Chain A
Amino acid sequence: MVSDTSAVSELARKIRVQVLRMTHKAKASHVGTSLSIADILAVLYGSVLQIQPTEPESPDRDRLIVSKGHSAAAVYAALAETGFYPRTWLDTYCQDGSRLAGHVTRGVPGVEASTGSLGHGLAIGCGMALGAKRGQNSNRVFVLMSDGECDEGSTWEAALFGPHHRLDNLVAIIDYNKIQSFGSVKEVLDLEPLADKWRAFGWSVQEVDGHDHGQLLDVLGRIPLVEGRPTCVIAHTVKGKGVSFMEHQLAWHYKSPDAEQLREALQELEVRQ
């Protein structure tokens, strides 16, 4: 567990490095979306979540559901870098016989729910948060979502549910990188005004720079922002963040870096070859 921003920054950098290596080796897609949440994951796993890598099933642990299951590479990297399992597991990402699938899948220490079909995580999170409330447990439930999955009706079913049942132990974090599968969010199905929508549904909403560790640590360290209300953190992010030629590019939702692109990317992340 780390608490200062320099340690969080180093964790974020390591997640990015692992994501690039994993997607290169596996020739896997979704590198842009994984880089987009590297800072959020670093803040959560590095500081915010009350979890013990040596006791991943501890009943009073905080839960993190990564509802945008396609950013699995970043999640697996974060779990390895924080000691849930050996880093060598990351070499098996998407390989035959591996435990690490291309979408977040249970059976991996630290993974709370299998995701991959969008719009499932918030409802599961509502159930977990409700279970904690009714069982008088103090743990909190974080759900990391994509902007694209705010297209799903099921997201809004759950968005109605959380405030109605006063689940102030529930936190939805939206990775708002503004690019979904087949175009910009604005062009495909505009979500704006997004913060107003969540406020209108009864959430306590805070917008932050999703790459600013200080801002993320500040807001996620003050949960619940308002007693009796769930929290929605809208994290403004950049798809492909940290690798100049991947930033804001839809193509990196699909492509994987070749050897030369990997070398360039790692150089930008100051990794000695």
Chain B
Amino acid sequence: MRTAFIRALREAAATDDRVFLLVGDLGYSVVEPFAQEFPNRFLNIGVAEQNLAGVAAGLASSGKVVFTYSIGNFPTLRCLEHIRNDICYHQADVKIVAVGGGMAYGSLGMTHHATEDLAIMRALPGMEVIAPGDPIETTLATRAIVTRPGPCYLRLGKAGEPVVHDEPPPFTVGKALTLSRGSDVTFVSTGGMLAAAVQAAEQLGQTGFSVGVVSMPTIKPLDADCLRAVAGQCELIVTVEEHNVIGGLGSAVSEVLVGVHGSQVGLKKVGVQDRFYEEIGSQEYLRAQTGLTVEQLVDAAETGLAERRLTNGQPEKPIRKQRESATRGNA
């Protein structure tokens, strides 16, 4: 995703001389081409994220579109109040970009896991929050936010995420991307979990379930219209995020669903269960600790659906196989 991001940003900067890129002493082997092409619009601020946010706000006040770039929690939580006061309150044209969303920096440990960032950025007035699902969404999101005024948080994975979309979808900030529709279950995914959600849907589809997938790259403003429609079309929504289930996509979706009159749709939130990882391991390993593997998502959908039908007192539709207990670690 970071490769797609920097390529799109270079393209934008070539035609829009307002575009600046400020980095917090990170971006090795990623941002150099931008720095070489636009030396007057690139700056390494140093290991000083509060200054990164403040300088960006001051620079934006002179009509620039300023991207700040770092990894994990450094460009967000480390300088949170500077983002709140200097960027958001001033409606500054600053786009905060974090590489390493979720557990992308797996074995580097909990300091490098960004698993509360979506919740915290989402709570800031005026801040838009985008977590693209694949490199194509990353490119489209980057292009879109250059010309969209005001603060934005762009949360990326790292590198090597699979391309999910066959061709560029019609991307608009604040709009969901419906990949498929299903009458049993719909996976609503944000960020780099999209590929796993699509694979889980395919597996379920092969065993007779009708399963849809919605990619939700924009978490704020959330596409409530899409969610209301999905709620009327299927029995269960499964939100999928590499993030704490508190305050992220699952929370945002539930905030919409409680307001849908007469909705009977069930909601299962798959994500980090309000914890830090003391286990050491790769992103893949930590996803497995979280219930975010393809097989675990299949489990979550099946058990969620079975529970839903039991609760609603419906005659049980055939479920591929019975599970003894709820999937590990899922809400």
A: residues with CB less than 8 A from B are 106, 112-117, 119-120, 122-132, 134-135, 137, 153-154, 157-158, 160-161, 165
Check A132 against B46 for contact (C-beta < 8 Å).
no
Check B59 against A158 for contact (C-beta < 8 Å).
no
Check B54 against A124 for contact (C-beta < 8 Å).
yes
Check A134 against B51 for contact (C-beta < 8 Å).
no
Tell me, rounded to whole Å, the shortest Cβ–Cβ distance linking A191 to chain B.
19
Check A126 against B51 for contact (C-beta < 8 Å).
yes
Known: A154-B50, A157-B48, A160-B46. A124 touches B58 (CB 8 A): yes
Tell me, rounded to whole Å, the shortest Cβ–Cβ distance linking B172 to chain A.
30
Q: B51, B53, B59, B81: which contacts A128 (Cβ < 8 A)? A: B59
Q: B40, B53, B62: which contacts A123 (Cβ < 8 A)? A: B53
Give Cα A140 to B59, complex, Å: 14
Check A158 against B54 for contact (C-beta < 8 Å).
yes
Check A123 against B54 for contact (C-beta < 8 Å).
yes
Cβ of B202 < 8 Å from any Cβ of A? no
Check A128 against B54 for contact (C-beta < 8 Å).
no
B: residues with CB less than 8 A from A are 40-41, 43, 45-46, 48, 50-51, 53-64, 81-82, 85-86, 89-90
Residues on A with C-beta less than 8 A from B41 are 134
Task: Kindly count the residue-residue contacts between A and B in the assembled complex, taking CB atoms under 8 Å apart.
Answer: 91
Known: A131-B58, A131-B62, A154-B50. A123 touches B43 (CB 8 A): no
In this complex, what residue of A is CB-closest to B57? A124
In this complex, what residue of B is CB-closest to A69? B85
Check B82 against A131 for contact (C-beta < 8 Å).
no
Known: A123-B53, A124-B57, A161-B55. A131 touches B86 (CB 8 A): no
Residues on B with C-beta less than 8 A from A112 are 61
Check A114 against B51 for contact (C-beta < 8 Å).
no
Known: A130-B43, A160-B46. A123 touches B86 (CB 8 A): yes
The 7 closest A-B pairs by CB, nearest first: A127-B58, A123-B54, A131-B62, A157-B51, A157-B48, A127-B55, A154-B50
Tell me, rounded to whole Å, the shortest Cβ–Cβ distance linking B295 to chain A.
46
Q: B46, B50, B61, B90: which contacts A131 (Cβ < 8 A)? A: B61
Residues on B with C-beta less than 8 A from A124 are 54-55, 57-58, 61, 86
In this complex, what residue of A is CB-closest to B66? A127
Check B58 against A123 for contact (C-beta < 8 Å).
yes
Give Cα A234 to B51, complex, Å: 22
Listed by A's residue number, 27 A-B pairs whose Cβ atoms lie within 8 Å are A106-B90, A112-B61, A113-B61, A113-B90, A114-B85, A115-B85, A123-B51, A123-B54, A123-B58, A124-B54, A126-B54, A127-B54, A128-B58, A128-B59, A128-B62, A129-B58, A130-B58, A131-B59, A131-B63, A132-B62, A134-B40, A135-B62, A158-B54, A160-B48, A160-B51, A161-B51, A165-B43
Give Cα A106 to B85, complex, Å: 11
Residues on A with C-beta less than 8 A from B45 are 161
In this complex, what residue of B is CB-closest to A141? B58
Give Cα A131 to B58, complex, Å: 8
Check B90 against A154 for contact (C-beta < 8 Å).
no
Q: A123, A128, A132: which contacts B50 (Cβ < 8 A)? A: A123
Residues on B with C-beta less than 8 A from A106 are 89-90
Residues on B with C-beta less than 8 A from A119 are 50
Tell me, rounded to whole Å, the shortest Cβ–Cβ distance linking B285 to chain A.
35
In this complex, what residue of B is CB-closest to A153? B50
Tell me, rounded to whole Å, the shortest Cβ–Cβ distance linking A128 to chain B.
4
Check A157 against B50 for contact (C-beta < 8 Å).
yes
| Given A127-B59, A130-B55, A158-B55, 14 additional A-B pairs, CB 8 A | A116-B85, A120-B54, A120-B86, A123-B51, A123-B57, A124-B54, A124-B55, A127-B58, A131-B61, A131-B63, A131-B64, A132-B62, A137-B62, A161-B46
Give Cα A161 to B40, complex, Å: 16
Check B50 against A130 for contact (C-beta < 8 Å).
no
In this complex, what residue of B is CB-closest to A161? B51
Tell me, rounded to whole Å, the shortest Cβ–Cβ distance linking A101 to chain B.
12
Residues on A with C-beta less than 8 A from B55 are 123-124, 126-127, 130, 158, 161
Give Cα A129 to B207, complex, Å: 63
Residues on A with C-beta less than 8 A from B60 are 127
Tell me, rounded to whole Å, the shortest Cβ–Cβ distance linking A116 to chain B.
8
Tell me, rounded to whole Å, the shortest Cβ–Cβ distance linking B242 to chain A.
30
Q: B46, B56, B82: which contacts A154 (Cβ < 8 A)? A: B82
Give Cα A122 to B48, complex, Å: 13
